[in-house]
Structure 1
Amino acid sequence: MTFLELCRRYAAEVHDLGGPPKNLVDGNPRTLAAADAIRESWEKIQLLRNDWEWLRGETPIPTQTMTVESDVPHIEPPYHMAIVWYAVAQSGYRQAATELIAIGEREWNVYYGLLVKRYVPPLSLVSGASW
């Protein structure tokens, strides 16, 4: 999903009464809030661990900041909803909205497990052996 698509999905999940943003440059405070939530969510996810696959190897990928509508997170598309759910949970905490916290945390926990399984190398105690 693009940055704009992530913002639209976020708006839908938090039941934004203004509806999903049509673009990210309309100056609408709701649009700006959605963009900030998604941007911050993606940046925080990238910084949660220092053993993400994209941080290792010969050419580590630096922290990606989404700025324009067409930006796409460097993780594979099946994992993009992790960004939305993390943003939903964080918004719930900011608003003291228990429903958003519950759904956001539940879904984020599922996606976090999937992210770790996909993007964190298996634990190895002996060179060449893994768990």
Structure 2
Amino acid sequence: MTFLELCRRYAAEVHDLGGPPKNLADGNPRTLAAADAIRESWEKIQLLRNDWEWLRGETPMPTQTMTVESDVPHIEPPYHMAIVWYAVAQSGYRQAATELIAIGEREWNVYYGLLVKRYVPPLSLVSGASW
């Protein structure tokens, strides 16, 4: 999903009465809030662990900041909803909205497990052996 598509999905999941943003440059405060929530969510996810696959190796990727509508997170598309659910949960905490916290946390926990399984190397107790 693009940055704009992530913002649209976020708006749908938080039941934004203004509807999904048509573009990110419309100046609407709700659009700006959605963009900020998604941008912040993706940045925080990238910093949650220091053993993400993209941070390891000879050329680690720097933290990606989404700025334009067409930006796409560098993780594979099946994992993009992790960004939305993390943003939903964080918005729930800011608004003291227990429903958003509950659904956001529940879905985020599922996607976090998937992200770890995909992007964190297996635990190795002995050199050359892995779990």
Interval containing the TM-score (normalised by the shorter chain)? over 0.9
CA deviations over 1:66-100 (Å, ceiling 9, x no partner): 00000000000000000000000000000000000
TM-score by length of 1: 1.00
Percentage identity across paired residues of the two chains: 98
Q: Give distance in 1, aligned partners of 2:3 and 2:107.
A: 19
Q: Give distance in 2, aligned partners of 1:72 and 1:58.
A: 23
Q: Give distance in 1, aligned partners of 2:112 and 2:9.
A: 18
- The alignment covers a number of residue pairs equal to 131
RMSD: 0.3
Q: Matched residue of 2:7: which SS?
A: helix
Q: Give distance in 2, aligned partners of 1:27 and 1:124.
A: 49
CA deviations over 1:40-65 (Å, ceiling 9, x no partner): 00000000000000000111100000
Gaps of 5+ in 1: none
Gaps of 5+ in 2: none
Q: Matched residue of 1:24: which SS?
A: coil
Q: Give distance in 1, aligned partners of 2:114 and 2:85.
A: 13
Q: Give distance in 2, aligned partners of 1:87 and 1:101.
A: 10
Report the counterpart of residue 100 of structure 2 in structure 1: 100
